Amino acid sequence: RRGALALPSSPCLPPLPQLRPHPTEKRTHIVSQQHGMTVTKTLQEGEAEPQCHSFCYSRAKLRGLLLEGAGLLLLRVLARRQTMPPDLVFPAIDTEGDLCTSSY
């Protein structure tokens, strides 16, 4: 046909390996202490040994900290009120356990 593109023939690719379920468990444990807060993240993939990482943050850095559950609740309240205060920013902890900011 006029104007039709001819695609080059592709080499034969090997079959993909069968995928099996690979359970992954992630846990975050947060403990408030006198000096601040300790966050322990645990990751276990399949039958491998769990990997643990701990982070400590001072109270000064955590002032106004918004944890994940509180953030979801705040979003629901703001949606219900149908209003958004300008420049609403809170300190938060990301999925890696690092301190970041959460803006709304």
Task: Read off the pTM.
Answer: 0.55
**Helix (H) or strand (E) segment spanning residue 78:** helix 68-81
Domain layout of the chain by residue ranges: 24-103
C-alpha separations of 37 from 45, 56, 57, 64, 74 in Å: 26, 6, 5, 13, 22
Which residues fall within 8 angstroms of residue 60, CB to CB, at 6 or more apart? none
What residues in the chain have per-residue pLDDT under 70? Answer: 1-11
Question: What pLDDT sits at residue 50?
Answer: 92
In the chain, the amino acid numbered 64 is G
DSSP state for residue 88 in the 8-state scheme: -
Question: What pLDDT sits at residue 52?
Answer: 92
- Residues 19, 64: Cα–Cα separation, whole Å: 44
